[in-house]
Amino acid sequence: MSAILATRDLVKVYRRGAAEVRAVDGISLDVQAGEFMAVMGRSGSGKTTLLDLLGCLLRPTSGSLRVDGRDTAAASDGELAGIRQARIGFVFQEFNLIPSLNALENVMLPLRYGPRRPDGERRAAALLEMVGLGERMRHRPSELSGGEQQRVAIARALVNDPAVILADEPTGELDSTTSGALLGILRQLNADRGVTVVIVTHDAGVAAATDRVVRLSDGRVVTDVRRGERGWREALGRADGTAPGDGARVWARLGGLLDRVRAGGTSR
Ligand code: ADP
Ligand code: MG
């Protein structure tokens, strides 16, 4: 395995008037290609800032980020945009779909900013099929449920065939059934296509379905555990006041949901 994202002593300081907030305060983290991991921590602990740094949406105050082994510090803004475009797909909590565009047009949106792809529309349609929205391509966001909108957002994140998906509380607005289905889709992408997935979540059930949990507190990594290692269960439940998740139970549920998503996604 090789690190697709690697940070060393990463720091992001925000200034608010005279005050400084060290939102990310010295994080050294390797994300291996093909990992499926969760970032947890209380509100304000720096999760979103870390994700935005990993996705080259923000530049660090100090420290380094390598993407595919390449140091991003020397990259121009244009080059950073190129890295994002080529390698990274974002999914946000609040879907961020364009209301006036239908599902297919929303999924195709990122294609406008990249090299021309003659197969763009077919590709976007195939992704909507994959997330079970083959019948809803011409619907606008207002005509879709929250879970359906988030699935459109996932399809959009995938349209440029990214190596990494960065998802910031993607299930935060969804009920548990829908968030389970969504997680199943991400898991499937990871298993079938080797897409690296980093999910920021408050939900121990979501974290329990990943293979690695990194916990932040005050902009620092306080826990970094992989499934099967000592401290895994504790890592899932601590600090948020949520009970430790039962991985096996969550998985049993997810398996069924995934089947239903697949069944719903075919037009048979
Ligand atoms: P989380 O996603 O874990 O809730 P954030 O990364 O959003 O945490 O925020 C970490 C800290 O940085 C918080 O104290 C937050 O108020 C502060 N912060 C985040 N973004 C900004 C910003 N654009 N300007 C000033 N402070 C910010
Ligand atoms: Mg956040």
Query: Measuring CA to CA, how many Å separate 223 from each of 24, 38, 166?
Result: 15, 11, 19
Rg (CA), the chain: 18
Ligand 2 centroid, distance to 50 Cα (angstroms): 9
Smallest CA separation from ligand 1 atom 12, residue: 23
What is the reported pLDDT for 172? Answer: 82
Q: Examine the pLDDT at 255 and tell me if it is beyond 80.
A: no
Q: What pLDDT sits at residue 106?
A: 96
The closest ligand to the CA of 167 turns out to be 2
For ligand 1, atom 6, which residue shows the shortest CA distance?
Answer: 46
Q: Tell me what the pLDDT averaged over the chain comes to.
A: 87
pLDDT tens per residue across span 89-131: 999 888 889 999 999 999 999 888 777 778 889 999 999 998 8
Q: Are 20 and 14 in contact (CB under 8 A)?
A: yes
Least confident of 32-36, 46-50, 82-86: 82-86
Please write the tens of the pLDDT for every residue from 10-23.
999 999 889 999 99
Residue with tokens 């609040």: 94
Distance 115 CA to ligand 2 centre (A): 31
Q: Which amino acid is at 132?
A: G
Tell me the DSSP string of 192-208: HH--EEEEE-S-HHHHH
Query: Ligand 1 pocket: which residues have CB below 6 Å?
Result: 14, 16, 21, 23, 41, 43-49
Residues 212/225, Cβ–Cβ less than 8 Å: yes
Residue 121, Cβ neighbours under 10 Å: how many? Answer: 14
8 A C-beta contact, residue 195 and residue 32: no
Among protein residues, the one with the nearest Cα to ligand 1's atom 24 is 14
- Tell which wins on pLDDT, 159 or 259: 159
Q: Ligand 1 pocket: which of 21, 40, 54, 216 to mutate (most atoms <8 Å of CB)?
A: 21
As a whole number of angstroms, the distance between CA 163 and CA 2 comes to 13
Whole-structure pTM value: 0.86
Helix (H, G, I), strand (E, B) or coil at 12: strand
Element holding 113 (H helix, E strand): none
- pLDDT at residue 239 in the model: 45
33-61+78-265: what CATH class?
Answer: alpha beta
| Three-state DSSP class for residue 214 | strand
Pick the closest to residue 235 from 216, 254, 250 (CA basis): 216
- The 10 Å CB-count burial string (b at 16+, else e) for 181-214 is bbbbbbbbbbeeeebbbbbbbbbbbbbbbbbbbb
